[in-house]
């Protein structure tokens, strides 16, 4: 099943390009901006009717500094699924849905795979399509 992902959190794109090297630290899975904003990347997996594999949105989520520090500390460990989940706010605009930036989420670490992003149940969000 194909998927779609963002290389950058939406807030990163608001920083003028000439200032990003100084204000931002970006990897494929983490981003910090001005040492104040902490973001992690993960997979928002949506089940697809009559398919065994989900459709995957690779999205960014802002988390607290303590959550970010713990995420980074354990990310390269083989056994990490017991850490978290981490509360966060979605920081990717998924244009095929009503406004998605700012949706409440939970980041779940998985062993040997990218993190998964789950929506908070009380929030509006992408669902089964």
Q: How far apart are CA 14 and CA 9, in angstroms?
A: 10
Instruction: Report domain extents, the chain.
Output: 3-12+23-119
Confidence grade of residue 121 (pLDDT, cut at 50, 70, 90):
low
Phi, psi of 4 (to 5 degrees): -145, 140
Q: What is the pTM of this model?
A: 0.85
- Kindly report, residue by residue over 71-96, the tens digit of the pLDDT: 999 998 889 999 989 999 999 888 77
Inter-CA distances, 123 with 56, 99, 100, 101, 127, Å: 19, 12, 10, 12, 11
């Amino acid at each position: 099943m194909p998927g779609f992902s963002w290389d950058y959190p939406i807030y990163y794109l608001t920083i003028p390009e000439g200032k990003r090297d100084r204000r931002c630290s970006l990897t494929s899975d983490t981003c910090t901006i001005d040492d104040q904003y902490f973001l992690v990347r993960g997979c928002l997996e949506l089940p697809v009717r009559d398919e065994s594999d989900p459709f995957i949105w690779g999205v960014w989520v802002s988390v607290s500094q303590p959550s970010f520090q713990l995420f980074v500390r354990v990310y390269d460990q083989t056994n990490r699924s017991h850490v978290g989940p981490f509360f966060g706010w979605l920081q990717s605009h998924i244009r095929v849905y009503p406004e998605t930036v700012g949706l409440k989420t939970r980041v779940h670490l998985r062993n040997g795979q990218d993190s998964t992003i789950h929506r908070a149940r009380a929030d509006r969000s992408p669902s089964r399509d």
